[in-house]
Structure formats: structure tokens, C-alpha cells
Chain A
Amino acid sequence: AQTVTQSQPEMSVQEAETVTLSCTYDTSENNYYLFWYKQPPSRQMILVIRQEAYKQQNATENRFSVNFQKAAKSFSLKISDSQLGDTAMYFCAGYSTLTFGKGTMLLVSP
């Protein structure tokens, strides 16, 4: 069975600081994809960043970057220069049929 684990139910950070959200996974697939999704209070699911497992280079999208450690099956999300609008639930997800972790609620305060 494929599993995705997010061990931090909640995190807090102040504006302009950097925060890292953790995610570990387990799969028997050789070629797979990993994603981070953001869900603000509006409930909309927004793709933040994705990583292809066969690529060694970590994905980056503006202030968002990942630390992908394939051997350790770890896929953490780093948010730099945090903004109030980053306040949301963040979900790690992956594989060919998207499997989600339980989410991390991130609160960015002034």
C-alpha cells in the first residue's frame, strides 16, 4: 500500500520568515510523482509544486522549494519569505493515483 505521512498537524511562522513542512512516503513504484497542494479557507485545492522522482534536482517555484531525498523517502516543502496569504492547509501527495497525507495547517502571523 502507498502511504503519505505528514507528522506536523499545525505550524506557525511569522511574516518574512522561512518554514519547512515535512512529508515522508512509502511506495513500491519505481516511477512516481510527488506534489504539494495548498488549501486556503476558500476550500480550493491549489497546486504549489511538483517533483518527478527520477529527477535528482529539487523543484523550485518562486518562494517555494522542495528537499527531495529519494533514498530516505522524504519530500519536504520550504516556504521562504512567508506571507500572510500563505496561511492555509498544506497537503503532501503522490503516486500515479493521488494519495494524500493528512495535512499541515500553516498559520502565518504578522
Chain B
Amino acid sequence: NAGVTQTPKFQVLKTGQSMTLQCAQDMNHNSMYWYRQDPGMGLRLIYYSASEGTTDKGEVPNGYNVSRLNKREFSLRLESAAPSQTSVYFCASRKSDLFKSYGYTFGSGTRLTVV
């Protein structure tokens, strides 16, 4: 099925470990996003990529890095995981068009626990 694929779905890390969350979309979307969801906080934007080759910080970028590998893939890296990064992470993509807004398509999320 077409859509946004995130891997892994679940992960447990020890404090200080590193890992990369993978995201790929097959809808030929230009823009891709990483969000984190915490209880009572809604979804907060970590980083986004408006087009291939560009990345920008969102509301909560500290402790994260991203790579827009190509048009399909947008990865999120935690270099040194901290318990405060325990969260559910969502990748999303959107078709960009000057004349029309399209909804965002979300992946199924990654539940990350840092102990």
C-alpha cells in the first residue's frame, strides 16, 4: 500500500546510545516531517524538509539530527539518547503545491523508550 513507512515500530535504548529512525514515502511528496508526541502535549515538530536537499529546525530540535537522503527518505538520528526523548515519533509527508493544500500523510509511529 502506498504511504509512509516508519521503522522500527518499537525500540528500547539505554541512555547514551544512538539510533536512527527511518522514514520512507512512495507518494512522490516533496515535503517530509518528523514529530514527537508526548501525553498532553499534542504533536510537536522536530525537523522538516520542504524539499530534497533542504532541512529546517522545528519547535523541539535539540538532541536530534536529520538527513533527507533522497526524495523518498528522511531519517531522524538520536546521537546520545536521553530519558527525555522517550516518546512516540511520527514521520509525515505532504505534496507541495502553490495552489492547493494537501493533507499530511502520517506513518504509523515509533514508540521509543530510553532507560
Contact = CB atoms under 8 A, between A and B. Distances in A.
Interface of A: 4, 9, 33, 35, 43-45, 47, 50, 52, 91, 93, 97-103
Contacts of A100: 35, 42-44
Give the size category of B's interface with A.
Answer: 20 to 34
B53 interface: no
Contact of A50 (B35, B40, B90, B101): B101
Contacts of B33: 97-98
A98 B48 CA distance: 10
A9 B41 CA distance: 11
A35 B103 contact: yes
A98 B104 contact: yes
A87 B34 CA distance: 26
A102 B37 CA distance: 10
A79 B35 CA distance: 27
A43 B103 contact: no
Contacts of B106: 44-45
Contacts of A103: 42
Contacts of B41: 102
Closest 9 A/B residue pairs (Cβ): A45-B106, A33-B101, A100-B42, A47-B103, A102-B42, A100-B43, A43-B109, A103-B42, A50-B103
B51 interface: no
